[in-house]
Structures are given as C-alpha cells and as structure tokens.
Amino acid sequence: MSVLVYINSAHGIGKNAFETVTYGKKLGDVTVVTNGNVDDASLAKLGEYGASKVLVDKTLVDADDQQLTRLIANAADQVGANTIVFSHDHVAKNVAPRLSVRLKAGLVSGAIALPDADGTIKVNVFSGKAFGSVKVNSAKKIISLLPNSIQPENIGGSATVEAFAGNAGDAKVKVLSTKQPEGEIPLPEAELVVSAGRGLKGPENWGIVEDLAKALGAATACSRPVSDIGWRPHHEHVGQTGIAIRPNLYIAAGISGAIQHLAGVNGSKVIVVINTDPEAPFFKAADYGVVGDAFEVLPKLTEAIKKF
C-alpha cells in the first residue's frame, strides 16, 4: 500500500513527525510530503522511522489551508497514495477535511490506534470523553493521528529527499507574523507535563511549577482561567477549548478537575493530582492523588526528583 504522510515542519521535525511516520510505515510504503524552510538533514532523519522518500516544496512558506490541500493532493497523485496520514494538530484539523472532499476520501479524525484486521480504527470522540470505532468505505482514506498515541520506532532506514513542485497556487491568506515560544518543549509533544491552576493564587508563584518541570524535563501547562487572566501564556492552556494532550505523566496542582479541563488531559497515561480539597473532582480521574498544599508538595517533589 502506498502511504503519504504530511509533516508540518513549521517548527522543525520532532517527535510528532516520527510518530506519524512510524504509524504510516505500519500501513505500507511511506512517502513524506512537507513544505517550508526545513533542512535536508532533518528531513532525511524521517528515513530512520520508515519513510523511503521525502518530497519537499521549499518555495511554499507560510502556506494557507487551501495551498496545503493542493500540495498534499498533488503529492498523493504523484505517488499514487491510497492512505494519507497527518498528526492531529491545528493543520490537520483545517486541511484534512478539505483534502477529504477533494480526493473523495473517508476521513478518520483523531485516531489513537492502527486499523484492526477488518480496517476498523479506534478514535477519540467528544473531546476525549468516549471512544469511537470508525471504518472507511471509500478506496482512499485519510487518518489524523492523535499525538502520543503510539511510540516512534527508529528502524534505522534511510530516505531520499527530493525537491517537489507542489503547484499549490496563490495564498488567500497572508501570514503577517508568527511567534514561537523559545526554549520550551511543545506541549503536544511533551511526554511529561506539570500543570497548575487557580490554586496557585498568582503568576508570581509559578516558580515552584517551573522548578518541578525543569527537574523532570517536563513542559508546563495550565487551566483555562489561569491563561484567561494572563497569569500564563495562552499556548499553555489545556482542555476542551485549549490543547488536548496525551503525555505519559500529567501532574496537576491546584486544578479542580472540571470536565472541560479533563477533556484535554484524560488521555494522559498517568495522572497525579495535588489539591487541598479531598473532594476535588480531579481525584476521581487521578492515578495518584496528594491531598495537600501545592506550595508544600511541589518543592518537596522537586527536591526528591533532584536526588535521582
């Protein structure tokens, strides 16, 4: 089977890309298509995870959704792909449905597993509150894979990198500027996340959250009110209206565990909750709970981790 994997390389090639290529490799022979200012050495690394070829249109920088749709459709035509795989990020949410219409391909959005023997794919639905089983009837299919659903597998292969004229047409939207937080682990890719909520009382107290995150090598996150009132940047907001994450470890301090927050984090493999209120709803979703004051527990946890 010929599989085309789209990689959003706007912020470099990272774990999500390796996961998506690994997933594609389990379905067939993988060609990657991407665009923008990305170096060939990073692209060639995708070969280690199973890509045999990488097509890159370096002239297409700051592409809009229509341009990306045309780029991917043209690449799919060129390689005769019958399956197209995305990582389920903001690009996939916008572009995969457009591509689905254009290619008359069934779309599986938010996959969390490989297809079963009969082609059924398990997906997350209702913001992670339930699972669904989806089967595509069309000849072509598009799958967008939730980050952290499978482990990237380095199989030691190699990929050729080829310039690709995507014929993506003109942009209808002009990107005026983009801002990328520096030196931080992108939340959707993070395996470990330390998160905090209104229980931290104010932005001046976030040092104890950052200290623990640093000791663990974790990303930091927060509840929605915390970003709404400006204690933390918006890109840290997780939940139904923020980013949905599935890290191996999610530590939540001073967060009540409202259903809208849980919607974005309940796919985490292990959840640790620190809250002074033993009745906080988050404890019901926790694997480990500490009924205690975050101002005491977080520094003790940091000290303990530093000893390892």
Closest CA to 245 of 147, 131, 126: 147
Smallest separation, CB 14 to ligand FAD (Å): 24
Closest CA to 251 of 288, 224, 215: 288
**Is the CA virtual torsion 214, 196, 91, 109 positive or negative?**
positive
Judged by beta carbon, residue 55 or residue 298, the one nearer ligand FAD is: 298
Smallest separation, CB 206 to ligand FAD (Å): 13
Chosen residue from 110, 115, 147, 199 binding ligand FAD by CB under 6 A: 199
Annotated binding site for FAD: 198, 223-224, 254-261, 275
Q: What count of Cα atoms within 13 Å lies in the side-chain half-sphere of residue 231?
A: 23
Check binding of 294 to ligand FAD (CB under 6 A).
yes
Chosen residue from 247, 264, 267, 289 binding ligand FAD by CB under 6 A: 264
Selected range binding ligand FAD among 11-19, 98-106, 129-137, 195-203, rule: CB under 6 A: 195-203
| DSSP three-state, residue 170 | coil
Chosen residue from 256, 266, 268, 302 binding ligand FAD by CB under 6 A: 256
DSSP at 186: -
| DSSP three-state, residue 58 | coil
- Give every CB contact of residue 299 below 8 A, 6+ residues apart in sequence: 208, 211
Smallest separation, CB 125 to ligand FAD (Å): 17
Check binding of 198 to ligand FAD (CB under 6 A).
yes
- Give every CB contact of residue 222 below 8 A, 6+ residues apart in sequence: 195, 196, 197, 231, 232, 236, 237, 238
Selected range binding ligand FAD among 114-122, 128-136, 259-267, 299-307, rule: CB under 6 A: 259-267
Chosen residue from 128, 147, 247, 254 binding ligand FAD by CB under 6 A: 254
Smallest separation, CB 104 to ligand FAD (Å): 34
Judged by beta carbon, residue 45 or residue 224, the one nearer ligand FAD is: 224
| DSSP secondary structure, 97-160, as one string | HHHHHHHT-EEEEEE-S---TTS-EEEEETTTTEEEEE---SSSEEEEEPTTSS---------E
Encoded tokens for 96 = 């995969």
Question: Are 253 and 197 spatial neighbours (Cβ–Cβ below 8 Å)?
Answer: yes
Check binding of 37 to ligand FAD (CB under 6 A).
no
Binding-site size, ligand FAD (CB under 6 A): 27
Q: Which residues inside 230-249 make contact with ligand FAD, applying CB under 6 A?
A: 239-242
Judged by beta carbon, residue 166 or residue 199, the one nearer ligand FAD is: 199
Smallest separation, CB 198 to ligand FAD (Å): 3
Helix (H) / strand (E) containing 219: strand 219-222
| Rounded distance between C-alpha atoms, residue 138 and residue 104, angstroms | 7
Binding site for ligand FAD (CB under 6 A): 197-199, 223-226, 239-242, 253-256, 258, 260-261, 264, 274-277, 280, 293-295
